[in-house]
Amino acid sequence: MLRRVVPYLAYLYVTFVGWTTRSLVLRADIPETVHRTGERFIYAFWHQRQIFFTWSHRNVSAAVLVSKSKDGELIARTMELSRIGAVRGSSSRGGAVAAREMVEMLRSGTDVGITPDGPRGPAREAKEGAVKVAQLSGMPIVPIANALSHKVEISKAWDRLQVPLPFGRAVVIYGEPLRVRPDDDLAAKAAELKAAIDALTAEADRLIR
């Protein structure tokens, strides 16, 4: 019963936070420009900052990669309430199947989202999954970050997960699209993606101070 109720409580809490938070979105023209070319894209963001995106990206035509764990099931149900889709899989369970599903979704007109350091870390170390999906689909990666003035960091979590608090300020920033060609080295592209998300995250943190 508790596991059934948790997604609804999480959804209501994030809704309250969103209603009471003053948000600033920077460079929102970047995803719009990609869409105008007829392409879709891959959101890439650090696992630590995922919660606020369930508010800032409600009702977008997107599906996010979520692990097949029990905790992942709670996250997927919370996202469903937020009108965000879920693709179930991870680097350790169902990764290849999930990658193929995301490629198909991109080609059929749906953006996808990946936390390159998820689901278990190391924190802020980009694995090759996102760049592989970009390579297979031919679609770009759009790095994204957020920062919160009012939050709690869970110090015992591997990523120091940020839980947003109400009555604060938020910044959401988009980065320039990153493309992965068929002959690109995936490890090098993953390092490039890490640098891009780190830079955006640092920029967001500076602006929220």
Q: Write the CATH number for 24.
A: 3.40.1010.10
What is the rounded CA–CA span in Å between residue 171 and residue 103? 29
Task: Enumerate the β-bridge partners of residue 152.
Answer: 163
3-state SS class at 151:
strand
- Which of 147, 164, 155 has its CA nearest to residue 200? 147
Q: What is the extent of the structural domain holding 44?
A: 2-208
In angstroms, how far is CA 200 from the centroid of its own chain?
13
Question: How many structural domains compose the chain?
Answer: 1
> What is the residue-averaged pLDDT of the chain?
93
Q: What is the mean pLDDT of residues 43-65?
A: 94
Query: Both tokens of residue 21?
Result: 């938070």
Whole-prediction pTM: 0.92
Going by pLDDT thresholds of 50, 70 and 90, the confidence category of residue 96 is confident
